[in-house]
Amino acid sequence: MEIEEWHERFNLLCMRFELSYQNAVFARGRLEAFIRPKILPTTYLRSGLPLAMQNKFSGKTALVTGASRGFGAAIAQVLAAMGAYVYINFHKSLAEALELKKTIKEQGGRVELLQSDVLEILGARLI
């Protein structure tokens, strides 16, 4: 692999690669990947929110699918910080989901985990 470009503004890494077997190249390609920084557990503390937002969703329940990491985890943290009871749905990322649950609970949030494949629940009937 060879790094071709790095776009700092978008955290976009562009690389060229070759796949070979017994000295014969059988594939060449270009890989583009957004490198996202790890979201720190303290990023979405209730105390960091404006006072008017801290209990905005008190008494409400939220279901966040794909919530064990990345954008979904950030949404789950914000909803919990705003007072919602949050259900974190995840498919395979159990370790990340458990860590997020621990983080939310440590910050005083209410959270439960739901492991399932949303497409199976929907019967894979997306149109």
Ranges of each domain in the chain? 2-34, 41-121
Question: CATH code for 41-121?
Answer: 3.40.50.720
pLDDT (tens, 9 = 90+) of the chain, 127 residues, equals: 788 999 888 889 999 999 988 889 989 999 999 887 666 655 667 777 777 788 899 999 999 998 888 888 989 999 999 999 999 999 998 999 999 999 999 988 999 999 988 877 766 555 5
Q: Which residues of 18-28 are buried (b: 16+ CB within 10 A; e: fewer)?
A: eeeeeeeeeee
| Contact of 93 with 69, CB cutoff 8 Å | yes
